[in-house]
Amino acid sequence: MARVPYLSREDLRPEDRDIYDDLVARRGGVLNLFRVLAHTPALLRRLVGYSTEIRFGLTLDPHLRELAILTVGRLCGASYEQGHHWNVARRAGVPREKLEALAAYDDAPGLTARERAVVRYSVEATRDVRVSDATFDALRSFLDTPQIVELVQVVAYYNMIARILEPLEVELEPDFVRLP
């Protein structure tokens, strides 16, 4: 059980219920993450907008985005983040073998040099905050400046989300199923 109650649409003030209505319309439902954040509707409203842009509005390759997010989730021990983004990655066409190789990314034969560079960046930014020049230069070899800034924001955003999920002990939804 989460450390704070999950709020339903009816728990919200009438003027904030549109947040849930929009989530249902755009994403098909309201995840537990958003249900705990609904205790602060003004912040949730802004977070949902940013989250939607991170997930659906970037030019960064979705495969690379998901490898970065799953790396953050693994390093932070955020099983909720890992579960949901495993499924997002699988739906985006990332092979299971690549997802299973993330922990050993330096030696994993199934990962490309670009994928390794994104995972390495995600590891360094999550563990150390600062990243080495070599890691950043590797990104420059295949990402343009806006895409680098997008990647930086993806990793930063999902580090923040992990730091919300874990202290609040947000659980995967009861009907959650991990894709093969």
Q: Give the pLDDT of residue 131.
A: 98
118 with 85, same domain: the answer is yes
Q: Give the pLDDT of residue 93.
A: 96
109 with 158, same domain: the answer is yes
| 177 assigned to some structural domain | no
Assess contact for 58 and 154: CB atoms under 8 A.
yes
Q: Give the pLDDT of residue 70.
A: 98
96 with 160, same domain: the answer is yes
73 with 40, same domain: the answer is no
103 with 26, same domain: the answer is no
69 with 84, same domain: the answer is yes
Indicate the pLDDT class of residue 46, thresholds 50, 70 and 90. very high
24 with 67, same domain: the answer is no
| 1 assigned to some structural domain | no
| 179 assigned to some structural domain | no
Assess contact for 69 and 154: CB atoms under 8 A.
yes
Q: Give the pLDDT of residue 107.
A: 87
Please give the structure tokens belonging to residue 97: 């073998």
98 with 14, same domain: the answer is no
Q: Give the pLDDT of residue 56.
A: 94
Q: Give the pLDDT of residue 75.
A: 97
Domains: count for the chain: 2
Average predicted confidence (pLDDT) for the chain: 96
134 with 111, same domain: the answer is yes
Residue-number span of the structural domain to which 126 is assigned: 62-167
* Residue 164: pLDDT over 90: yes
Q: What is the pLDDT of residues 100-152, one digit of tens each?
A: 999 999 888 889 999 999 999 999 999 999 999 999 999 999 999 999 999 99
Whole-structure pTM value: 0.95
| 95 assigned to some structural domain | yes
152 with 70, same domain: the answer is yes
- What is the number of other CB atoms lying within 10 angstroms of the CB of residue 37? 22
For residues 85-93, give the mean pLDDT: 97
| 176 assigned to some structural domain | no
| 79 assigned to some structural domain | yes
37 with 76, same domain: the answer is no
| Per-residue buried b or exposed e for 141-160, using 16+ beta carbons within 10 Å of the residue's own CB | eebeeebbebbbebbebbbe
33 with 80, same domain: the answer is no
CATH number assigned to the domain comprising residue 158: 1.20.1290.10
Q: Give the pLDDT of residue 76.
A: 97
Q: Give the pLDDT of residue 1.
A: 87
Residue 173: how many CA atoms within 13 Å on its side-chain side? 13
Indicate the pLDDT class of residue 34, thresholds 50, 70 and 90. very high
| 23 assigned to some structural domain | yes
Q: What is the pLDDT of residues 61-81, one digit of tens each?
A: 999 999 999 999 999 999 999
